Amino acid sequence: MILISNEQDKISYEKDLEDILEKIINFTLEEQQVKIPCEISLTFVDNDGIMELNKNYRGIEEETDVLSFPMLEYPKGEYYKDVYSDNTFKDEFKDGDDLVLGDIVISLQKAEYQSKEYNHPFIREVCYLTVHSMLHLLGYDHMEDEMKKVMREEEEKILSAFNLRR
């Protein structure tokens, strides 16, 4: 289950954006070998909204493009497919039969700015941020060079499947 909510009014977008994001999220889950029904929350905010969340949860008082709030914990350097291949979860991680993977929050204002800065379509930027955050929900990180390389390769593989290359 993918729950999409729009809590901003600065950037308007077409309904097909939500449709492609649902497809990309589902494709990412398949590619990452998630074989259990999942619940993911995707929320659109503006720069003020994401700055408030960034301040409250990370202690950083500035806007950012995307925040990820994973529910599962992973040993360093391991991903969902390494840790949870048996797909057995405690009830604390479930909502009914669905595994709650976590929340994604995207500033559409920041995404629009970055799409212009990087000279690619707005939809590509929002899709990239969604894939990036989905991979965080699945245990990927980019704090160390080797992990960053693996994460970037996965991002590009997924985006390429939707013809959303750089």
| Cβ proximity of 48 and 69 under 8 Å | no
Percentage of the chain surpassing pLDDT 70? Answer: 90
By CB atoms closer than 10 A (0-12, 13-18, 19+), residue 134 is buried
For residue 75, being part of any structural domain is answered with: yes
How is residue 9 annotated by DSSP? S
The number of distinct structural domains making up the chain is: 1
For residue 37, being part of any structural domain is answered with: yes
Distance CA 55, CA 36 (A): 33
142 — pLDDT class (breaks 50, 70, 90): confident
| Amino acid 43: pLDDT | 98
**Chain centroid offset of residue 160 CA:** 16
End-to-end alpha carbon distance in the chain: 29
- Supply 126's token pair: 């929002």
For residue 166, being part of any structural domain is answered with: no
Taking only the tens place, the pLDDT of each residue in 97-137 is 778 899 999 999 999 999 999 999 999 999 999 999 999 99
Average pLDDT value for residue range 72-84? 76
For residue 95, being part of any structural domain is answered with: yes
CATH number at residue 95: 3.40.390.30
Taking only the tens place, the pLDDT of each residue in 8-55 is 999 999 889 999 999 999 999 999 988 888 999 999 999 999 999 999
For residue 140, being part of any structural domain is answered with: yes
Identify which has the larger pLDDT, 150 or 94: 150
Structural domain including 101 reads: 2-161
Distance CA 158, CA 108 (A): 21
Identify which has the larger pLDDT, 161 or 83: 161
pTM for this predicted structure = 0.91
Distance CA 132, CA 129 (A): 5
Average pLDDT value for residue range 78-84? 73
